[in-house]
């Protein structure tokens, strides 16, 4: 390990250059990711719905929508904000670790407070606590994700992003299964999740200490800080194209995947009791597809030094999958749709994130801000997708939903084509060469 120096904003600031000497760091990040996404899934899928059902049995669906909508509105900008703050942090513990700890401790405390409420008396109180918790947990998320650029060379980022994606899937499934038994006693479930996410962050900070940063700081100016989030498409066209691709991909994918239950009951004609079980099967099939694709796709994209190819395959898979329910309007057709969507999502997570890391406007100084902005596209797309799906279904029915999803996915594929991968590859190879020489 060694420290480098880079000029930014007319001043000298410390920039860490880290040579990866093993996969221990990746294992540590994976543990943090599993704990984080177990907390997300355990709260959103089990504990929060159970608690809201206790508060307002008749209005639980609307209450859950309100709480989750508020948390999204509050946390939409959390990742770009925490990412930018961690970029400019200079402490003896490094840049990312302090924000990982802040995010885990404050976010975990908010989750624990939801458990301390027991039989909560107010939907508003839960909404506030979960918004605070999710806001700070997003800080933990982006601070740990920034290691993708900080600590791993470009030739390994596909498999690293794949491990991140696999950890998220495993964590989500673990959270739902492990916390499922706490539905009747949500307080204990909240406390367990809070303890796990805090312990994971603390264990990481103790085991994998960043090199000490120079205490010299760049003066904080609000105007310059805010302007840093504005990306000039003339200077950084590749990043803008990748951002738009992720936004379109999230909308096209989510507008169909979010309505699997209603596709089975209203479009295929499956009985509601059987449909719930089929959704579970579709989730498992899709989850397996994600896990296989994030690992295989990430590894292959590293070996071939090609990201766009796999991203285009992901877009094509979604477009083709949308024909299955039209040509095969059965439960089997929906399961085939779910399988293709899972593989497509896995490829998009691994190869899309790796490509984004290669087109960041300022990867050495502002990796956190850049990756946070990229993740913002995902969050916005996930919020828009259900609205698009609901509107299309209401106006034109389910067949039109597949047409719209395919059209948006073709637009996503078109936005990735202009990215000049060969040029970026040459630039990054030169950068990795400089990094390698500076670490020897």
- Residue-wise pLDDT for 148-183, tens only, equals 888 888 888 888 888 888 898 888 888 888 887 776
CA dihedral (203, 368, 315, 303) positive or negative: negative
- pLDDT of residue 329 exceeding 70: yes
Task: State which H helix or E strand residue 2 sits in.
Answer: strand 2-8
Name, of 6-15, 102-111, 235-244, the range with top average pLDDT: 102-111
pLDDT at position 230 is 67
How far apart CA 325 and CA 315 sit, in angstroms, is: 17
CB atoms within 10 A of CB 118: 13
Give one word for 327, left, alpha or beta, with left for phi > 0 and alpha for psi -120 to 50. alpha
* Angle value at C-alpha 244, between 172 and 132, nearest 5 degrees: 45
The pLDDT value given to residue 269: 80
CA distance 142 to 148: 10
For domain 237-439, give the fold.
Answer: Growth Hormone; Chain: A; (1.20.1250)
Domains 21-214 and 237-439 agree in fold: yes
Confidence of residue 204 (pLDDT cuts 50, 70, 90): very high
Q: Does domain 21-214 have CATH number 1.20.1250.20?
A: yes
**CA 162, CA 91: separation in Å to the nearest integer?**
30
Residue 6 has pLDDT above 50, yes or no: no
Q: Inter-axis angle of helices 157-179 and 272-304, to 10 degrees?
A: 160
Please, where are the H alpha helices in 146-271?
147-151, 157-179, 186-207, 222-227, 237-257, 260-262
User: Where are the chain's structural domains?
Assistant: 21-214, 237-439
| Percentage of the residues of the chain whose pLDDT score is greater than 70 | 84
Mean pLDDT of 28-42: 92
CA-based end-to-end distance of the chain: 9
What is the rounded CA–CA span in Å between residue 169 and residue 164? 9
Q: Each residue of 397-408: pLDDT tens digit?
A: 888 989 999 999
Q: What average pLDDT does the structure give for the chain? A: 80
């Amino acid at each position: 390990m060694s420290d480098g120096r880079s000029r930014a904003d007319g001043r000298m600031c410390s920039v860490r250059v880290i040579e990866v000497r093993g996969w221990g760091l990746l294992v540590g990040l994976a543990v943090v990711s599993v704990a984080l996404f177990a907390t997300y899934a355990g709260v959103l899928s089990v504990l929060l719905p159970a608690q809201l059902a206790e508060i307002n049995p008749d209005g639980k669906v609307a209450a859950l929508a309100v709480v989750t909508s508020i948390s999204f509105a509050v946390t939409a900008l959390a990742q770009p904000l925490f990412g930018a703050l961690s970029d400019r942090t200079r402490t003896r513990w490094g840049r990312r670790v302090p924000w990982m700890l802040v995010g885990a401790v404050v976010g975990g405390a908010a989750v624990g407070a939801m458990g301390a409420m027991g039989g909560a008396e107010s939907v508003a109180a839960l909404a506030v606590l979960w918004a605070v918790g999710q806001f700070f947990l997003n800080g933990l998320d982006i601070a740990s994700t920034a290691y993708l650029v900080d600590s791993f060379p470009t030739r390994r980022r596909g498999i690293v992003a794949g491990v991140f994606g696999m950890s998220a899937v495993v964590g989500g499934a673990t959270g739902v299964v492990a916390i499922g038994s706490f539905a009747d006693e949500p307080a204990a479930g909240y406390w367990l999740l809070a303890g796990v996410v805090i312990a994971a962050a603390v264990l990481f900070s103790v085991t994998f200490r960043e090199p000490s940063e120079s205490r010299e700081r760049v003066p904080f100016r609000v105007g310059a800080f805010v302007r840093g989030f504005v990306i000039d498409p003339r200077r950084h066209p590749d990043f803008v194209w990748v951002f738009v691709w992720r936004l379109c991909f999230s909308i096209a994918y989510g507008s169909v995947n979010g309505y699997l239950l209603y596709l089975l009951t209203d479009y295929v004609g499956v009985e509601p009791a059987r449909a719930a079980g089929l959704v579970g099967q579709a989730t498992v099939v899709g989850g397996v597809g994600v896990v296989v694709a994030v690992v295989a796709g990430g590894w292959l994209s590293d070996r071939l030094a090609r990201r766009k190819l796999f991203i285009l395959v992901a877009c094509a898979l979604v477009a083709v999958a949308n024909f299955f329910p039209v040509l095969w309007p059965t439960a089997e057709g929906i399961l085939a749709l779910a399988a293709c969507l899972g593989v497509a999502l896995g490829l998009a997570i691994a190869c899309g994130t790796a490509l984004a890391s290669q087109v960041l406007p300022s990867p050495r100084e502002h990796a956190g801000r850049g990756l946070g902005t990229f993740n913002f596209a995902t969050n916005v797309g996930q919020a828009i997708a259900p609205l698009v799906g609901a509107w299309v279904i209401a106006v034109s029915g389910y067949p039109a939903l597949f047409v719209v999803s395919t059209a948006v996915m073709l637009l996503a594929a078109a936005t990735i084509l202009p990215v000049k991968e060969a040029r970026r590859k040459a630039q990054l190879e030169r950068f990795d060469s400089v990094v390698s020489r500076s670490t020897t």
